Amino acid sequence: MPATILVVDDEPDLEQLILQKFRKQIREGVFTFKFAGNGVQALERLAEDDAIDLVLTDINMPEMDGLTLLNRIKEQENPLLRSVIVSAYGDIENIRTAMNRGAFDFIIKPIDLNDLEITIDKSLKDLRVLKEAIQSRDQLMFIKHELGIATEIQTSILPKVFPPFPDRKEFDIYAKMIPAREVGGDLYDFFLIDKSRVGVIIGDVSGKGIPAAMFMAVSKTLLKATALKGIPPDSCLESVNKVLVDESLPSMFVTVFYGIFDTRNGSFEYCNGGHNLPYVIGREGQVRQLDNRGGVFLGALKSLEYESNVIMLQPGETLFLITDGITEAMNNAEEMFGEKRTKESLRAHSGEALNLLVDQVIRDAQAFSYPQEQSDDMTCLALRYFGK
C-alpha cells in the first residue's frame, strides 16, 4: 500500500516539481501525493482521507499558516501522522516553534529535492516502526483478551466451591491451583460416583499456555466421564489412554493420579499414571507416600496396562495430592523444594483445616523459590476422612 503524502504550500510550481521528482515512486505505487494551498485546505484533505501518513507544510501561507496547522494536527492526537515543516534558511525561531508543536523534521528553502527525498524516507521509516509497534501492542492486547477468556473457561471447569459436599460428615475435600501463566496445564477434580464412593483426580499436562490448557480440558472431561461409569481406576486410565493416543498430538501427554474413596470404610483404590505420588498424613502428623502402583503417563502409547492398589484410610487421616510444581519449585541456587521439604511442610501444618493446609504448602514452596518466578503450575488437593 503506497504511503500518502500531503504537500501544503501556496506556490503552484511546487506541485509539478514534486510530481516530476517522485514520478518513479508514484508509478511503482510507493508514494501517493495530495496537495493543498493553505492550512484550511490541508485540514479538509485530512478530514477526507484518514490514510494520509505525512504532511509536508510550508510556514507562510494565506488563511492558515503552517504553525497554526501543526497546532490543529496536534489537537487531533493522531500518532500515525508525521509532519515535516518547510522554512526559510535561518528561520530558527519558527523551526523551533514547529518542532515544539509536533513537527517530526524540517526542510530548508529553497528546497533541495534530494534532501526532501531523504527526509521523506526517514519520516516514513520512523512511521513504519511506530505502526509495527502499535500493531504488536494491539496483537498483545488481543492475545491477553483471549488468554483472559481461556482462563475463565479453564477455571470454570475446575471445582471451586468449598466445601463441595457440606451435607457429608464422613469426609472433606479442598483443592487449589496456582497457574504459572494466565492458563495452566494442571487439572484436578472430585465427584460422587454414587452415594458412597468419591472419585478424586489430579493431573499435569505436558507443556504450558493455551495448548496445554486445551489438552487439560479434554483430558479432565474424558477422565471424569469415564470415571463416572464406576469402573476400577486401572480400567479407567487404560480406557482414557486409548482415546487420548488417538485424539492428541504426539508431543502431548498427561500424568494422572486417579482414586476412588469409599466413605463407608475408608478404603481408597487408586492407580497412578506417571504422576507424583500422593501423601497420607496420619492423625499425629506422620507423613508417608503411597506405593507407586499404576503405569506410565497417558496419551503416548496405546496398548498399555495399568495396575490398581488399595489402602485403608483411618479416621483423622488426610490424603494429600500434588503436582510437580510444588516439588520442583526452584530457588536461586537451583535447588528444588523436593519431597523432603514437602513432607516437612505437611508435618508442620498437619493439624490445620484443609484449606489452610493446602495454602500453607503452596506458600512454603513459593517462599522457598522466591524471588524466582513461578515456572510451573502449583496444584494441591486434600481429602480428609473423619469416619462414620
pLDDT at 223: 95
Whether the bond into 371 is cis, omega within 30 of 0:
yes
User: Would you state the cell numbers that stand for residue 342, as one nine-digit string?
Assistant: 514437602
pLDDT value, residue 222: 92
Closest CA to 121 of 54, 69, 57, 58: 54
Beta bridge partners of 309: 270
CATH superfamily of the domain spanning 157-385? PPM-type phosphatase domain (3.60.40.10)
Give ranges for CATH 3.60.40.10 in the chain: 157-385
Averaged over 88-93, what is the pLDDT? 78
* Bridge partners (DSSP) listed for residue 267: 312
Over the stretch 35-83, which tens digit does the pLDDT of each residue have? 999 999 989 999 998 889 999 988 888 888 888 988 888 888 787 888 8
Dihedral pair phi/psi, residue 209, rounded to 5°: 75, -160
CATH architecture of the domain with range 3-136: 3-Layer(aba) Sandwich (3.40)
Bridge-based pairing of strands 186-192 and 197-205 is antiparallel
Tell me how far apart the alpha carbons of residues 244 and 222 are, in angstroms, rounded to a whole number: 9
- Give the Cα separation of 265 and 310 in Å (integer): 12
The model's pLDDT over 125-159, given as tens digits with 9 standing for 90+, comes to 888 888 887 777 777 677 666 666 666 666 678 89
Q: What would you measure as the largest C-alpha separation in the chain, in angstroms?
A: 100
In the sheet that 171-178 helps form, which strands lie side by side, from edge to edge?
171-178, 378-385, 318-322, 279-281, 287-289
Phi first, then psi, for residue 333 (nearest 5°) are -85, 10
Question: Percentage of residues in the chain with pLDDT exceeding 70?
Answer: 94
What is the rounded CA–CA span in Å between residue 51 and residue 32?
10
Residue 246 DSSP one-character state: H
User: Where do you find CATH 3.40.50.2300 in the chain?
Assistant: 3-136
Q: Are 66 and 58 in contact (CB under 8 A)?
A: yes
Give residue-wise pLDDT tens across range 287-323.
999 999 999 999 988 888 999 999 999 999 999 999 9
Tell which residue, 386, 348, 324, 379, has the closest CA to residue 200. Answer: 379
Q: Per-residue pLDDT for 124 more than 80?
A: yes
pLDDT tens sequence across 334-349? 999 999 999 999 999 9
Pairing of strands 105-109, 82-88: parallel
Upstream peptide bond of 62 is cis (omega within 30 degrees of 0): no
Whole-number percent of the chain with pLDDT over 90: 54
Give yes or no for a contact between 280 and 291, defined as CB atoms under 8 angstroms apart. no
